[in-house]
Structure 1
Amino acid sequence: MARRYFGTDGIRGLANGEKLTPELAMKVGMAAGLKFVNGDHRNRVVIGKDTRRSGYMIESALTAGFTAVGMDVYLLGPMPTPAVAMLTRSLRADLGVMISASHNPFDDNGIKLFRHDGYKLSDALEDDIEQLMDSNMLGQLSVGRDIGRAHRDEAAQTRYIEYAKRTMPKGVDLSGLRVVLDCANGAAYKVAPTALWELGAEVFVIGNEPDGFNINDKVGSTAPEALIAKVKELRADIGIALDGDADRVIIVDEKGEIVDGDQFMAVIAQSWHARGELKGGGLVATVMSNLGLERYLGGIGLSLERTQVGDRYVLEAMRAKGFNVGGEQSGHIILSDFTTTGDGLIAGLQLLAVAKQAGRAVSEICKRFDKVPQLLQSVRYKEGKPLEHKLVQQAIKESQARLGDTGRLVIRPSGTEPVIRVMAESDDEGLVLAVVSEIAATIKKVA
């Protein structure tokens, strides 16, 4: 059955566009509330948001929906997505909600739902909520004393800051480190600088002046140029860039070089393995992670478990097979000893701890392997299913044969737009370019 509202990561779209309206948000609140109200206690939901102007509108509509079916609402204000997941567990809430469109521009927004244990809802639960949203819920509304209340939780930021600080190894602080932090004008603009400063770092912050419209605008993990410039200007030891809802992190070393998620995961995996804290005998990453990571892990006796693209699939594999480190090349780092989703701040703290304990420069710590030449190209099409065309299938088959056993080819359609991603990697950079160009050209030809 086709889904009307939920996508691969909650509901997302243009605020007040065709899908994401106050009416829809209120229906989400009513339907999700009805699904999770069980009657044996006063049910509660926590709601966090990033800094988009439309967050106020969606927050109010969700609150109306939840209170209408008898749930008490705890409003957290601007708060990272992983903080909402953590506080859902900590406050013994029945449900958690994050209002955010992550790294998208300000005029988009979204709604993510978490279970009582801080994990995202299953597809089955989202399907149940969709069915309720399309039904007549008026007869199931609470009345009189049973209507829910809304509370503003003033202590939420402090609770998350203290939690993040406690993830640091015992006896390790950040004194003596000069850190540039880019908060993307997003959800972590208050909590992240405070946590780093309280741990002893000298903190220089950019992207911490949100105005409702500048989230992810030339700042954050998807636009690291400002961070690179500031690290060089201040001769800092490290730069840390979060995205709009702070579940993603990108590192810049003291030379101004970007450290992507693959190198990041290699650092954490090796460090935890040396301390006897790595579980699963390796880590989980997606098909997009570089072949160099796989070779590095194999060289130190660790494995790489690959999944399809998406942090939810990484987490599913981690839980199913007992891993505690996983993530994506783009900077979603999941450390399940501490979090139930990607957490940019906590991941950054773990890397800072490694650097501090080693007493070495970040550029030395984070260069664990040489990347295998990799090229990713996005090919836009208007309609149809180009990947099913015989010419495209033939081009893919021939390219796989040319790459042989020393390279990889990943072809996948986007889940959110009419785009096909073509990625190849091999030790032969010229071959990578030729293969990607040929497949992309064939897709364009038939599309």
Structure 2
Amino acid sequence: MRKLFGTDGIRAVAGEAPLDHKTIYAVGAALAHQLKTHGDRPTLILGMDTRESSTWIAAVIAQGLQDGGAAVVSAGVITTPAVAYLARKHGFAAGIVISASHNPWQDNGIKVFGGDGYKLPDETELRIEDEIFRQLESATTPAEWNTEPPAVDLQYRTEYEDFLRAAVPGLSLDGLHVVLDCANGAASAIAPELFAHLGGTIHLTHTSPDGRNINANCGALHPSIVAAETASLKADIGVTFDGDADRALFADAEGRVVNGDAIMLLAARDMKARELLAGNMVVATTMSNMGLEAALRRDEIKMLRAAVGDKYVLEMMRRHDAALGGEQSGHILFPHLATTGDGLLTALVVLDIVRRSGMSLAELIADLKVFPQVIVNVRVKEKKPLEQFVTVMDTISAAERELDGNGRVVVRYSGTEALARVMIEAESEERMRHHAERIAEAIRSELGA
């Protein structure tokens, strides 16, 4: 059972355990020790988002890495997928990202990629966790903490932008009006320069991070913001990223939000037409809507479901040699292009499909019939196995029996927050909300914070 790593690294309130100085230092020292197989002095690349805590966390983890015998280079403020790309391109022992993705500014996190550009498998994270706890028990705390992170080499950002352009060659946005919401996060450092060379009319929003406005009423957590802006400006398409830009959501010209399910549908159709969709297969998650499955089936495309978390989607994709996968939340995986979800890359791919098809975003997904779906979040004291609670399991079973064949029930813990998520999908909205609230109330009575 992992104690530090969630589905997307270590995440907490900055300055509080496990993101206090001592634990962050231990993470760096533990990583350095685990990576000694890459040589006597393994080199890691470090990137961060725009939170005010990212700078001091980067300084402390670099201190732990260096004291543990590793070398560190920094790409500065840059997206999570950029670090994955750079780690692989340059053969670094690992890549580290200081970010809490879509969380508010008070939170932060540590994500680790292997030298191959992929997120670490669970068994590797468990080994690192054990090493971190050993470091915490035995290591001597430094007399003083580093306050300055490693010097930034801006060449890394340029290399990543060059990669994005090369991934979708020949893309021109001439004649298109695009709204981009950068969430006051890492995309703010890249999107303006990247899209400036693609033509078209580009309207940038939320590109002025101040350390505390990341994800604040903007970005992928609030897709209605870019949707309203797109409609107001009479633009053709809107794109919104989360804080570290590893995912993207969209808006059509009418101001309707277009989520990851719809993006997987239009990408799958395009890839199948170009004979790029290996096995005519898409890997989604348990949270993807039944409507996506039905639409793909009409095109004779099979949909597999993985556990929630883009790392689990990718693991299933690699097992089945799938060429496309993703999450409703906007993590879209194109393994022939990148090793992890990349919001900026997804934006370019979707814009390229729109241009080549000659159709609008709305037209490309017009036949996607979405089943009513509700997600109720319940804050919990601790994440005990739900199987231990008879009332909870009985309530879930009753909902599954009643919805059999006409809906789905998914109840799981968040991988990054102290939440239980209750997702119900059904043809009847009344039944959907009834069962969601009953299950949520059962969880509150047993585990509620």
Normalised to the residue count of structure 2, the TM-score between the two structures is: 0.91
Q: Is 1:159 aligned to residue 159 of structure 2? A: yes
User: C-alpha separation between the residues in 2 aligned to 1:440 and 1:36?
Assistant: 43
Report the count of equivalent residues.
438
User: C-alpha separation between the residues in 1 aligned to 2:116 and 2:36?
Assistant: 15
Change (3 A) 1:135 1:436: closer
Query: Partner amino acid for 2:156?
Result: A
Task: Out of 370-379 and 177-186, give the one that drifted further.
Answer: 370-379
Contact 1:180–1:236, Cα closer than 8 Å, also in 2: yes
Contact 1:105–1:217, Cα closer than 8 Å, also in 2: yes
CA deviation map 1:144-195 (0-9, x unaligned): xxxxx95532211111111011111x44322221111011000110212222
> What SS class does the counterpart of residue 280 from structure 1 fall into?
helix
Q: Is 1:203 aligned to residue 195 of structure 2? A: no
> What SS class does the counterpart of residue 12 from structure 2 fall into?
strand
Deviation of the 1:233 alpha carbon: 2.5
Contact 1:263–1:367, Cα closer than 8 Å, also in 2: no
User: C-alpha separation between the residues in 1 aligned to 2:418 and 2:359?
Assistant: 45
- The aligned residue for residue 352 of structure 2 is 353
- The aligned residue for residue 237 of structure 1 is 236
Q: Is 1:81 aligned to residue 80 of structure 2? A: yes
Contact 1:84–1:98, Cα closer than 8 Å, also in 2: yes
User: C-alpha separation between the residues in 1 aligned to 2:127 and 2:63?
Assistant: 20
CA deviation map 1:348-393 (0-9, x unaligned): 1111011111122222123341101222222345567665433333
RMSD: 2.3
Matched ranges for 1:40-439 at <5 A: 40=39, 43-135=42-134, 152-168=152-168, 170-382=169-381, 388-439=388-439
Change (3 A) 1:212 1:418: closer
Change (3 A) 1:201 1:72: farther
Task: Out of 414-423 and 339-348, give the one that drifted further.
Answer: 414-423
User: C-alpha separation between the residues in 2 aligned to 1:72 and 1:238?
Assistant: 43
- The aligned residue for residue 20 of structure 1 is 19
Deviation of the 1:437 alpha carbon: 3.2
Q: Which runs of 4+ in 1 moved over 6 A?
A: 137-140
Change (3 A) 1:308 1:139: closer
Contact 1:67–1:150, Cα closer than 8 Å, also in 2: no
Deviation of the 1:438 alpha carbon: 3.2
Aligned sequence identity (%): 39
Change (3 A) 1:385 1:180: same
Deviation of the 1:22 alpha carbon: 2.4
Query: Partner amino acid for 2:440?
Result: A
Deviation of the 1:209 alpha carbon: 0.2
User: C-alpha separation between the residues in 2 aligned to 1:104 and 1:139?
Assistant: 31
Change (3 A) 1:368 1:349: farther
> What SS class does the counterpart of residue 134 from structure 1 fall into?
helix
Change (3 A) 1:214 1:291: same
Change (3 A) 1:401 1:128: closer
- The aligned residue for residue 440 of structure 1 is 440
Deviation of the 1:416 alpha carbon: 4.4
User: C-alpha separation between the residues in 2 aligned to 1:109 and 1:430?
Assistant: 38
- The aligned residue for residue 146 of structure 1 is none
> What SS class does the counterpart of residue 38 from structure 1 fall into?
helix
> What SS class does the counterpart of residue 173 from structure 2 fall into?
coil
User: C-alpha separation between the residues in 1 aligned to 2:3 and 2:374?
Assistant: 34
Deviation of the 1:42 alpha carbon: 5.1
Deviation of the 1:397 alpha carbon: 2.3
> What SS class does the counterpart of residue 188 from structure 1 fall into?
helix
Change (3 A) 1:446 1:245: closer
User: C-alpha separation between the residues in 2 aligned to 1:46 and 1:255?
Assistant: 42
> What SS class does the counterpart of residue 218 from structure 1 fall into?
coil
Task: Out of 332-341 and 385-394, give the one that drifted further.
Answer: 385-394
User: C-alpha separation between the residues in 2 aligned to 1:135 and 1:380?
Assistant: 31
Deviation of the 1:45 alpha carbon: 0.6
User: C-alpha separation between the residues in 2 aligned to 1:445 and 1:72?
Assistant: 50
- The aligned residue for residue 145 of structure 1 is none
Deviation of the 1:418 alpha carbon: 4.7
Deviation of the 1:100 alpha carbon: 0.1
Query: Partner amino acid for 1:123?
Result: D
- The aligned residue for residue 146 of structure 2 is none
Task: Out of 209-218 and 119-128, give the one that drifted further.
Answer: 119-128
Contact 2:227–2:250, Cα closer than 8 Å, also in 1: no
Query: Partner amino acid for 2:64?
Result: G
Deviation of the 1:39 alpha carbon: 6.4
Change (3 A) 1:161 1:437: same
CA deviation map 1:92-119 (0-9, x unaligned): 2111000000000111110111111001
Deviation of the 1:415 alpha carbon: 3.8
User: C-alpha separation between the residues in 1 aligned to 2:333 and 2:79?
Assistant: 14
User: C-alpha separation between the residues in 2 aligned to 1:326 and 1:152?
Assistant: 33
User: C-alpha separation between the residues in 2 aligned to 1:413 and 1:25?
Assistant: 25
User: C-alpha separation between the residues in 1 aligned to 2:38 and 2:17?
Assistant: 35
Query: Partner amino acid for 1:213?
Result: R
Query: Partner amino acid for 2:116?
Result: D
> What SS class does the counterpart of residue 404 from structure 2 fall into?
helix
Residue segments in structure 1 that go unaligned for 5+ positions in a row:
141-148
Query: Partner amino acid for 1:254?
Result: A
User: C-alpha separation between the residues in 1 aligned to 2:231 and 2:139?
Assistant: 62
User: C-alpha separation between the residues in 2 aligned to 1:133 and 1:390?
Assistant: 36
Deviation of the 1:224 alpha carbon: 2.4
Change (3 A) 1:352 1:3: same
Change (3 A) 1:43 1:437: closer
Query: Partner amino acid for 1:369?
Result: L
Residue segments in structure 2 that go unaligned for 5+ positions in a row:
141-148
- The aligned residue for residue 11 of structure 1 is 10
> What SS class does the counterpart of residue 127 from structure 1 fall into?
helix
